[in-house]
Structure formats: C-alpha cells, structure tokens
Structure 1
C-alpha cells in the first residue's frame, strides 16, 4: 500500500468513494475531492461507472469491490446517499418509514461495512456521513426524515468510537437547507413556491440557502489528512441555524 503522493493536492494518492455522488451535494463533494487531488469513485443508482443500490447488500459489495480492484485502495468514504420525506409522525405509513431508514441509515451501515477492510489498510482513512440540521433541531413536517438523520448522527458517534484506534476517523456534516434539485422539487410542488423559498431563506440566520459547494468544502475538511485529530464530531453548515438566536429584524 503506497503512501499518499506529494505535490498533487492534499488528497494526492488517495481514493475516495462518494455514494449518491451523481447529483446535488454528492456531486459537489466528488468534484471538490477530485479538485484537491483524490481519485474519486461515484456510487449511485445511475449515471456513474459504479452503479450501486445502497438498499441491496450484494449491490453494495459488488460496487465497493469494483472500486478497490480498479484503484487498489480505498482511503475516504463519504456516505451521502439519502432520500427525503415530509409529514408529521401520522403522515407516513410503515412502508415509507422502512424505506427511508433503509436508504438513510442502513445504507450507511452497508457501505461502511463493505469498505472497512480497505479503510483499515489506509494511512489516511476517513469516513464522512451526510447528516442534517434535522438531527439536532425540531423542524415541522419532517418527523420521518428527522428520525433517520438523528440515527445517522448517533451512528456516526458510535462508529467513531469503534474505529478511531484503528486509524479510521468518522465524522458527519449537518447541513441546513441546501439548494439542491430535491429542495427545488419541493419548492416547485408548494402552493406558493416563492413564499416557501423566502421562508426557507429566512429561517437560516445568514438569510439564504446553503450551497452544495459549501457543504462539499466542509466534507473535504473532515476527510482531509490535515484533520487527523478531528473525530466523532458533527460539523454544522447551516448559516448559523443550529447555534444563533437573532432578534427579529427591525420593522
């Protein structure tokens, strides 16, 4: 196993796997890691060389094995694949609860489990999970989604405790509302798209949606060998939503 190559960026010589990397946050992460020198393997349901369904353990293992055979190593894993859900606790049936947890939580488990043998051999192993502000703040009409992301946050901390002494750092990002195709579809389906977008902007103290690139830069920090003493944390990328309590603007 070769050491990271010098002179090719902070991720030079490292191989990163990004699930859900064909669009949105995952695509921004894949591009950012590649720009910083990583060889990036995108795992997604379509539009990628490494087709992977994170709800299917056989599909996950085939994809991870294919990455390892192609590049000879895996150093960074970004568990980004996820789906959303709307409604109160009474609005989603059991099948939808199972499906969202199957993707958002068990998907993290399956991919990490498959990648662990390769991560254990890396000199710069890091796992970054995409969580959400929904894990730490009560948001209306997001009961199922919030529950799944709360599980991702707890899982991140447990994984960090299990693997830090193996040299594998595990962290997560907790974005606020990000300007992604999924959010765009929600806004388009709202009775008042402009009003809904204004409301989403207003609830984040900096007054706008978070960009996918901003989340990608946070992921890159957590995954970087330069963050070797950062483990078991959640890094908010939410315009201050999680910690700031601003006074209402003057009339």
Structure 2
C-alpha cells in the first residue's frame, strides 16, 4: 500500500463527534474547530439531561469512545501548545488519525516542527522526512544538519531537482517517484516497542492535491508509524550519495 493509499484509507473513514446536553455555542465552536477535518459534529440531548455535558466519537461500526466536555476542552487547550506527549484523552487519540483538509504551508511547517522537536528531545531513534524536492530541502539544511549530528538517525527523501549537497550529517534518499514528489511527511520512530505505554512514535503524512495545499493526517499510533517506516525503508532503502 502506497503512502497515497494510506491517506485515502483514512479519508474514507468518516467519524461523528456527538455533543450531548451542551449549548449551541459549544456545538458551533467544535464544528469550527474541526472544519478542516473529516469529522461530522452533531448535537443531541438525553431524555433525562444526564450525565451532564459529554461527547462521543463514533463511526459506521458504532460508538467507541466518550469523555466529558470539560476534560475534552482542557485537552484541546494542551494540544494547542504542543502535540501531546502521552497525556491525551481517548477521543483525541482517535481524532489524530482523522484526515485534515487543505492545510497551508504554514500549518504543515508548524506540525513538522513539533515532530522534529520531539525527536531532538527524545535523543534516540530515527527521523524520516519527505521534502518533495531537493530545492525545498536546501532551505532546511541547517536544521537537518543539527538533527543529523545528534544521536537520532535522520533520513531525508526528495526528488533531485538541483544538485545534492556534497556531504551531510543525515542520509539522503533521492528518487523521482510520484509519491516522493507529492508527499510531505515527517515520521519519528523512537525504536521502542511501546509495551509499557512510553513510546514516542508519531508521524505527519500528507499529499499535495492542490498547489501548496495539503491533505493528510497525523498519528501517534505505533502500528501506523511502523507501517510508514517499513514502507519507506522497503521502497527507498538505497542510500544516494
């Protein structure tokens, strides 16, 4: 399965966020909040008005997680500051793998920086970054040289539209494949099993469907991160010097 097919699989999985016993203002705020995501936000009222304000997340197979509204807002506030480091509520865990639509360069850069920063702070594992073209990578060379000089193994992927750097502290993979030309990804694998809940694996994966507008998802799911890593290493494992 290609990177594009992986994104399409997430896109086909629409979710419904149902807000119970809350005012219209809360529903409208959440609709605005998730306007660029593949999530339908609806409001409902229980017959008794209990157990207060809460929300559920569901798909075609039914409801699979719920939380009270105050806790959800608290977690959203934390997510505004950082991509979460593990203290996430269940609802946001699932929403992480919901498609985002028409993100600008600025939003993509911001999300990428969070993952790059996580790799730097963890100080181990591997970082995989797709730049589409070498000319784009050229503008990030200073940052990726610093990352490459750290204990993190860094891999950069790009279509060779300009001459590559003479040498670098990271591994450069050059390929003219369409998915390299069209995909923006930053994937961090801390190379732990995550069996004790301490894994720091995360990924941002998107494709350019309109000029400089990106569609994709981010994830903290270890199995999804492992799949992306296996695909990149299996398809583009040869090192270009």
TM-score normalised to structure 2 length: 0.29
Q: Which has the higher strand share?
A: 2
Rg larger in structure: 2
TM-score normalised to structure 1 length: 0.29
Q: Which has the higher helix share?
A: 1
